[in-house]
Structure formats: structure tokens, C-alpha cells
Amino acid sequence: MSRLSPGDRAPDFDLPSTAGGNTRLSDFAGKKVVLYFYPKDMTSGCTAESCAFQASLPDFEAENTVILGISKDSVASHHKFREKEGLTFHLLSDEDSDACEKYGVWKEKSMYGRTNMGIERTTFVIDENGRVAKVFPKVKVDGHADEVLEAVREA
């Protein structure tokens, strides 16, 4: 599936979460949601991205916005990652790539001359009505949380 575009209805999902049980996008109706897909817990880029969102969390909360991170890692891995980095927002486990495919971020990637399937680091800002307000494809981590906060304020 191709990546979603602004104005598209954001697909609901039902994924195991560090909140305990499962989390659905529809649980946050009436709030803005920053949904960021990242490749792997405990890696340098993903740690920097997650910690930047954590550092800006009060600013996002002031904008009636929740942050949700999604990767294919297990909930157990997510719990270790949250504990190690002091993350307080929820991480969701998409081990079967269901949400990754719905959002169009499960891509063929190439590294060191080898191709494999993986998550393309992508962030979606979803408005209070469940529509995609902004898409950040192929995210570069430096300054990203600030860009996303600005988009949330404009959404």
C-alpha cells in the first residue's frame, strides 16, 4: 500500500502496547496524535528520535496531542527501551506489520548493497477528527520533534 497523504482518513489499528493490553487509534478521538514509525528499539537514531519526543512531551500535551511510537519490536523490548530511556509515552508493537502496511511505511530498503524489508522512518500528524494532517517521510532525526510540534500547532 502506498503511504497515506494529508486529508486521508488515518486507518485504525489495534496493537499490543506498553500501556497494557491493546491500544487503538480510535482511543484518542478528539485529540491530535503524533504517530511515529521507527525501525528498532535501542538503536542510535531511534533512541535520539524517541528522546527528542520525550523532551518535548509537555509542549505536545499543551496542544492536546498524544505521542505513539510504533515498531516491529515486541512489547517486552519496548518496556526495556522505555525504562532505559525514561520514555513516558506509549510504544506499540506491530510484529506482523499490520499498521506498517496500512500506513505505507513497510518498504524495501537497501543497506550495504543488500535489500531487505523494513520500516521507513515516518511520522504522521493526525488531527482530532482522525484525518492525516501532515506526513514526514524518510525522517532525519535532528530537529524532527520541533518540526512535528510546529505541524501540530498548525493542524
Asked about 100 being catalytic, the answer comes back as no
The active-site residue, picked from 46, 70, 92, 126, is 46
Per-position pLDDT tens, the chain of length 155 = 567 999 999 999 999 999 999 999 999 999 999 999 999 999 999 999 999 999 999 999 999 999 999 999 999 999 999 999 999 999 999 999 999 999 999 998 887 888 889 999 999 999 999 999 999 999 999 999 999 999 999 98
Q: What is the pTM of this model?
A: 0.95
Here the cell at position 87 is 520514555
Here the cell at position 72 is 516491529
Helix, strand, coil percentages (3-state) for the chain, rounded to 5, are 30, 30, 35
Would you list the domain boundaries of the chain? 14-154
Pick the CATH number of 14-154 from 3.40.980.10, 3.40.30.10, 3.40.50.300, 2.40.50.140: 3.40.30.10
For residue 5, count CB atoms less than 10 angstroms from its CB and return exposed for 0-12, middle for 13-18, buried for 19 or more. exposed
